[in-house]
Amino acid sequence: MNKQQAAEFLGVSVRALERYVQQGRISVKYEKGKTRSTANFDASELEIFKAELNQPTIKPAVESRQTPTEQQPDSDKPVLYSGEIAEFGDITVIDRLSSIIEELLARSETQPSVPIADKLLLTVHEAQALTGLSKELLRDAISYGTLKAKLIGRSWRVKRSDLDQFVAGLF
């Protein structure tokens, strides 16, 4: 059976079949052909491997993480870091995860954010949003020296006062 036929028989792609060969899960014999060598697979070995592929595998959705201080040798249930949740299937897990997510979202909302109009240093994008001028015009003004700017990191920063002078000079 050639490579394409073997892949169709197993119901996988040719690339997946090649990976199985590389992993040593399937053996292949190469025979010399007219222009290049061809891969030949043993049909009985492929049938055994197909049965192995079709076996259902059960993987845990969440792995339990145990620390040496929290291990309980008497209990057969997994111990999580918090020690509050015993099983994944409990509704308390969902409640706990949702409360963690809500707390993280609340923290991100409480961080101060400065409006563009109050910033002292502006990026080109912020200067464009504030003035309504195009990015290309602002970048050209920076390159010609009519708008003072400094390269900080990988982006240009413009002082708010320099931007105001540039805009005032346009009219």
Residue type, 98: S
- Domains (ranges, CATH) in the chain? 3-53 (no CATH), 68-110 (no CATH), 116-170 (3.90.105)
CA distance 98 to 32: 61
Higher local confidence (pLDDT), 131 or 86 = 131
- Whether 32 has a pLDDT exceeding 80, the answer reads yes
> What SS3 state is found at 25?
coil
Confidence of residue 85 (pLDDT cuts 50, 70, 90): very low
pTM confidence score: 0.37
Whose structure tokens read 């010399």?
32
> What SS3 state is found at 79?
coil
pLDDT (0 to 100) of residue 128: 93
- The pair of three-digit structure tokens given for residue 87, joined into one six-digit string: 């099983």
Q: Which residues pair with 123 in a beta bridge?
A: 157
